[in-house]
Amino acid sequence: MPSLARSLFLCLMLLAPAALAQTAPQSSLLDQIIARGTLRVGSTGDYKPFTYLNPETKAFEGIDIDMARSLAKALGVKLEIVKTSWKTLLPDFVDGKYDMAMGGVSVTLDRQKKGLFSIPYLIDGKTPIARCADAAKYQTLAEIDRPEVRVIVNPGGTNERFAREHLKQAKLEVYPDNVTIFDQIVQGKADLMITDASETMLQHKLRPALCAIHPDHPFNYSEKAYLLPRDEIFRISSISGCTRR
């Protein structure tokens, strides 16, 4: 393994707590990746700008996909993107279908119970996105949580969890396609969606009829990071700092 690649990987990884290291297998994830010749990254492919499976090229693209490619290149191995979904991301991860999860993955307690997260690379939070003409009506959760309000959510992830925890009266519709879900709002088939502030700002650029509602002041606090197995003796540290070297 080239010294530059090893330096980059070690820069990306920090030794985990000693107690964890004592129970870690002798063959580390790094050893397995190098021996296999492939870095397997799980990604949903439906969350711009982090991960997107382009239907025309049949290829993954996005900020985190670029990062995955850079890491694989530095390690001297091939990159394999394993398609997953928000509902199956954690079960697929636990089943060992990929080495790490990348693509706008939020840090949650459930995921922390099963894996180790990198140092967060983005601070985010849930906020509404609605048609611009209606944005003033949905500034607070109280204004949203009314029987006549139609809230659309994608299944299995933190968006659905947040909506079900905080909205008891609004009508919730689970829509399976996180790529076209915003078109449902544009077409008037739903009133709004509560999702990550970073996504609402991008969707406003892609669909000017939709407005991100107070993205600088979201309803909660969340972090995005990369997910590795708990039994791994390394965990990702500062991806951006390493790749700039």
- Residue-by-residue DSSP string for 133-195: GGGGG-SSHHHHSSTT-EEEE-TTSHHHHHHHHH-SSSEEEE-S-TTTHHHHHHTTS-SEEEE
The contacts of residue 80 (CB under 8 Å, 6+ apart) are 38, 39, 40, 41, 98
Both structure tokens of 194: 């509560």
Architecture per CATH, domain 126-220, reads as: 3-Layer(aba) Sandwich (3.40)
Between 196 and 20, residue with greater pLDDT:
196
Mean pLDDT value of segment 200-228: 97
Q: Is the pLDDT of residue 9 over 60?
A: no
Q: Are strands 126-131 and 115-117 parallel, antiparallel or unpaired?
A: unpaired
pTM here is: 0.80
Q: Do domains 3-122+223-243 and 126-220 have the same CATH topology?
A: yes
- Residue with more model confidence, 50 or 28: 50
The pLDDT, as a whole number, for residue 229 is 85
Instruction: Domain 3-122+223-243: give its CATH code.
Output: 3.40.190.10
Report pLDDT for 95: 96
Of 233 and 63, the structure prediction assigns the larger pLDDT to: 63
Q: What is the pLDDT of residues 216-242, one digit of tens each?
A: 999 999 999 999 987 654 444 334 344
The answer, yes or no, to whether residue 7 has pLDDT greater than 80, is no
Any idea where the domains of the chain sit in the sequence? 3-122+223-243, 126-220
Strand order, beta sheet including 51-53 = 46-47, 51-53, 60-61
Q: Tell me whether the omega of the peptide bond preceding residue 49 falls within 30 degrees of 0, making it cis.
A: yes
Cβ–Cβ < 8 Å for 141, 212: no
Quote the pLDDT of residue 14. 39
**Would you state the pLDDT for residue 30?**
82
